[in-house]
Amino acid sequence: MDLAVVVVIQILYAVASLALISIGLAIIFGMMGVINFAHGEFLMMGGYAFILSYNAGVNFWIAMLVVAPLAVTVIGVAVERLIIRHLYGRVIETVLATWGLSLFLIGLAATVLGYHQKGVTPPFGTIRIGAYQEGGYTFFVILVTLALMAALYAGFKYTRWGLIARGTMQNARMASGIGVNVDRVYATTFGIGAGLSGLAGAILAPIAGVLPEIGVTYVVKAFITVIGGGAVALAGTGAAASLFGAVSQAVTFLSRPVVGEVALLVVAIVLLRLLPLGITGRYFRRGL
Amino acid sequence: MTVKRRSFIKTSAAGAAALAAGPYFWPKGASAADTIKGGAIYDLSGDLQLFGKNQWACAEMAIDEINAAGGVLGKKLEVKTYDSQSQMQAYNQYARQMVLRDKVAVVQGGLTSSSREVIRPILHKLKTLYFYNTNYEGGVCDRNFFATGATPGGYVDLLSGEAMKRWGKSVYIMAADYNYGQITAKWIQKAVKDAGGKVVGEEFFPLTVNQFGPTISKIQAAKPDFVMNVFVGPAHASFYGQWASAGMNKEIPMVSTTFGAAGEVVRMPPEIADGIMTCYSYYEDLDIPFNKKWLAEFRKRNGTDYGYLTDVPPKDWYGWIFWAKAVNEAGTTEREKVIEVLEGGLTIDGPGGPLTMDAKTHHCTMDMYIGQAKGGKFEIQKKVAQVPPTNTGNQCDLIARPDTNIMYEPKI
């Protein structure tokens, strides 16, 4: 019985962490269509922003939930203005530019920040479940991801800004024609995507550590999740994260970690073979 | 990266002028005669720069020391350094370049086993000595190859033995899912069984895995007396935070063959890192006069932004000193003569204690220490003097069979 509870918690955690690392990319790639290979580095910068400000004396939660996303939002807007905006609609160039950006950011972090910034300890203690015990932080990650998804859904669905953003992504010329400042909407949306990545990086920092190359471990899984989700960014990412996270974690429990990794990829391949446009190519098409 | 266009043009121009001067004149090694050349290849940029930079810092210090003490054969040792950018094809290209163009007498460097296996065959074929100064899975048996690093045949026994004495006989093994992790896990299995212990679980992790929840639950169910890990890379480093988050670092002792090699003890807060036990041939906190002087010099040269040195980087210092001493004793850089001196049981003293080259295996006998992480550094708790390199299970004998050129795996 206690094992069953632990397995369920672990699966929820796997789904949540997959959704968390993908959500920023879902907006930048899923909504805006920008293939951002520097996504992992946005996460990495969020992690650094968090531990650096925390070690400089900022309150733990303010450093994690405010400083990190704000810092990466600012960087994201700068990247959009300097690089990305010249490349909308040019897929190959975007891939090259963001890949270069990724290498640049890793190099910059390695040279300027280095490998020896002191990390932080996960807060909350542990919770005992029969013969097992689980870190309280696991539950925090699950809850915060749920809250984030809900907030984004509400933001895009019920605010005027959300409506304009969705409209611009659907048809930029039309939006421009009715007086929307398309440039600003693109920059803001990209900034929000970057900020969410920064937030995710900060949330994962206590349990994953922060290194210049840490982004590399996230970026592939984030892309698989977003592509598996399809065109409807939020619902798609949520659905794909649920499917991939549950399958890989359950398989890891039943066999070994390497089989779990393989299972994730196999499910992704089969999924895209059956639903080439991702999950939301067929289901939740009217979602967000 | 080492050929600059300007200098290339200059050299070509000089060559052309020399050719024009007369058909029999060639500026053959005009300036090369007063220096002796060595080649160094380290991962100075890219994913492995964390290691490569410290390795080179130690190597550079050794080279400066050699030159300050009169050089090699009375000449200046001039080392050409190549940055592999953590790329295997660069190792391939630069290894050839060092031998064929730079005509070096020795090549030192490399970190990963894959990089070693790229350049080792090349240098073997081109008959240029190769020093590999990293702790690795062991087993290479090649007359042209010398290793100064520790190998699991030595430290796994010590580490698991010490852990079993302290905490009990059942162990759970977690290892990286490739060559180094798998072979080291085999050594652990053997060491634990030989000592009458029991392996209650064994799991392998691809280098990209950074979620350890299911494994932590499995360990909680298996209730081992201690966990022994062979983790590699940034993704695996995520384990320690998750282990501490689940409160396990206070319940089950953790032993590692790699922890601290990448500055973890500086990067991770003591609440996560404290108590992890390791076994290396070098720690900054070694209370040896040689080390105090050596470390002061290292800090003077490199400041503080290098983390915390353990096993690996100082071995590159040993490697260069070893070679220079062998050449000076042989009186020549000629490969055969230098090998003979090295096989004559050459010993050098260094920051981690004396190292002696083992003639049969071309690996080193060295002092090993048990160190436990505490408050951002390691507390040295035990010294085991002069551990011999048993990593080939006594299969390698380069004195009896000098033509051997293979890599042994432990027979378990």
Cα–Cα distances (Å) from B188 to A161, A172, B9, B152, in that order, read 60, 62, 56, 8
pLDDT surpasses 80 at B394: no
pLDDT surpasses 90 at B232: no
Task: Determine contact, residues B402/B143, Cβ cutoff 8 Å.
Answer: yes
Beta-carbon contacts of B69 under 8 Å, excluding residues fewer than 6 positions away, are: none
pLDDT of residue A174: 87
Please report the number of interchain residue pairs, chain A to chain B, with beta-carbon separation below 8 angstroms: 125
Same domain, B204 and B258: yes
Cα–Cα distances (Å) from B84 to B45, B136, B367, in that order, read 7, 19, 31
Strands (E), B206-297: 226-230, 254-256, 277-280
| Residue A87 lies inside a defined structural domain of this protein | yes
Domain boundary among B280, B302, B328: B280
Task: Quote the number of domains for chain B.
Answer: 2
Domain boundary among B237, B259, B280: B280
Same domain, B262 and B162: yes
| Residue A112 lies inside a defined structural domain of this protein | yes
Same domain, B165 and B232: yes
- Residue A280 tokens read as 């939301």
Domain boundary among B280, B295, B318: B280
Please, what is the end-to-end C-alpha distance for chain B in angstroms? 45
Q: Across all residues in chain B, what is the average pLDDT?
A: 87
Residues from chain B that touch A256, judged by Cβ atoms under 8 A, are 203-204
Residues A129, B42: Cα–Cα separation, whole Å: 48
pLDDT of residue B153: 76
* Host domain of residue B94: 5-13+35-150+310-366+390-407
| Residue B256 lies inside a defined structural domain of this protein | yes
| Residue A224 lies inside a defined structural domain of this protein | yes
Chain A contact probe: residue of B217, B230, B305 with most A CBs at under 10 A: B217
pLDDT of residue A62: 93
How many CA atoms within 13 Å lie on the side-chain side of B73?
17
pLDDT of residue B114: 87
Task: State the Cα torsion A250-A254-A258-A259 to the nearest 10°.
Answer: -80
If pLDDT is split at 50, 70 and 90, which confidence band does B304 have? confident
Residues from chain A that touch B232, judged by Cβ atoms under 8 A, are none
Q: Across all residues in chain A, what is the average pLDDT?
A: 89
Q: What is the mean pLDDT of residues B311-327?
A: 93
Q: Is the pTM of this model over 0.90?
A: no
* Host domain of residue A29: 2-281
Task: Quote the number of domains for chain A.
Answer: 1
- Chain A's closest residue to B211, CA to CA, is A14
pLDDT tens-place string over residues B247-290: 898 899 999 999 988 888 888 889 899 999 999 999 999 999 99
pLDDT tens-place string over residues A72-119: 999 999 999 999 889 888 888 999 999 999 999 998 998 888 888 888
pLDDT surpasses 80 at B2: no
pLDDT of residue B58: 94
| Residue A287 lies inside a defined structural domain of this protein | no
Q: What is the mean pLDDT of residues A203-224?
A: 88
pLDDT surpasses 50 at A64: yes
CATH number at residue A16: 1.10.3470
- Chain A's closest residue to B212, CA to CA, is A257
CA-nearest of A16, A23, A21, A7 to A245 is A16
Of B177, B248, B268, the CB nearest to A119: B268
| Residue B286 lies inside a defined structural domain of this protein | no
| Residue B29 lies inside a defined structural domain of this protein | no
CA-nearest of B226, B228, B219, B164 to B197 is B164
| Residue B291 lies inside a defined structural domain of this protein | no
Chain B contact probe: residue of A10, A12, A217 with most B CBs at under 10 A: A217
Please, what is the end-to-end C-alpha distance for chain A in angstroms? 37
If pLDDT is split at 50, 70 and 90, which confidence band does B362 have? very high
If pLDDT is split at 50, 70 and 90, which confidence band does B393 have? low
pLDDT tens-place string over residues B92-138: 999 999 999 999 999 999 998 889 999 999 999 999 999 999 988 88
Same domain, B161 and B256: yes
- Which range is most confident: A32-41, A251-260, B59-68? B59-68
Same domain, B9 and B143: yes
pLDDT tens-place string over residues B138-158: 889 899 999 999 888 778 889
Q: Across the interface, do B208 and A6 touch by the CB < 8 Å criterion? A: no
So what's the ipTM on this one? 0.85
pLDDT surpasses 50 at B166: yes
If pLDDT is split at 50, 70 and 90, which confidence band does B48 have? confident
In 10 A of CB A91, how many CB atoms? Answer: 11
Same domain, B159 and B250: yes
Task: Determine contact, residues B320/B66, Cβ cutoff 8 Å.
Answer: yes
Q: What is the mean pLDDT of residues B218-242?
A: 90
pLDDT of residue B412: 61
Same domain, B49 and B138: yes
* Tokens 């600059």, located at residue: B4
Beta-carbon contacts of B281 under 8 Å, excluding residues fewer than 6 positions away, are: B135, B150, B155, B311, B315, B352, B353, B366, B367, B368, B369
Bridge partners, residue B130, by sequence? B107, B145
Q: What percent of chain B has pLDDT over 90?
A: 57
Same domain, B190 and B243: yes
Bridge partners, residue B227, by sequence? B172, B254
More confident site: A137 or A118:
A137
Residues from chain B that touch A13, judged by Cβ atoms under 8 A, are 213
pLDDT surpasses 80 at B10: no
Instruction: Determine contact: A122 vs chain B, CB below 8 A.
Output: yes
| Residue A78 lies inside a defined structural domain of this protein | yes
Same domain, B315 and B402: yes
pLDDT of residue A191: 94
Q: What is the mean pLDDT of residues B55-76?
A: 93
Same domain, B234 and B345: no
B288, burial (CB in 10 Å: exposed 0-12, middle 13-18, buried 19+): middle
| Residue A134 lies inside a defined structural domain of this protein | yes
Instruction: Determine contact: A17 vs chain B, CB below 8 A.
Output: yes
Q: Across the interface, do A121 and B247 touch by the CB < 8 Å criterion? A: no
pLDDT surpasses 70 at B295: yes
Same domain, B129 and B184: no
Q: Across the interface, do A119 and B272 touch by the CB < 8 Å criterion? A: yes
Same domain, B349 and B226: no
Number of H helices, E strands in chain A: 12, 2
| Residue A286 lies inside a defined structural domain of this protein | no
CATH number at residue B394: 3.40.50.2300
Q: Across the interface, do A217 and B217 touch by the CB < 8 Å criterion? A: no
In 10 A of CB B360, how many CB atoms? Answer: 16
Residues from chain A that touch B269, judged by Cβ atoms under 8 A, are 118-121
Q: How far is A55 from chain B (nearest CA, A)?
A: 11
Bridge partners, residue B131, by sequence? B108, B146
If pLDDT is split at 50, 70 and 90, which confidence band does B3 have? very low
| Three-state DSSP class for residue B150 | coil
pLDDT of residue B289: 93
| Residue B356 lies inside a defined structural domain of this protein | yes
Residues A254, B214: Cα–Cα separation, whole Å: 9
Instruction: Determine contact: A48 vs chain B, CB below 8 A.
Output: no
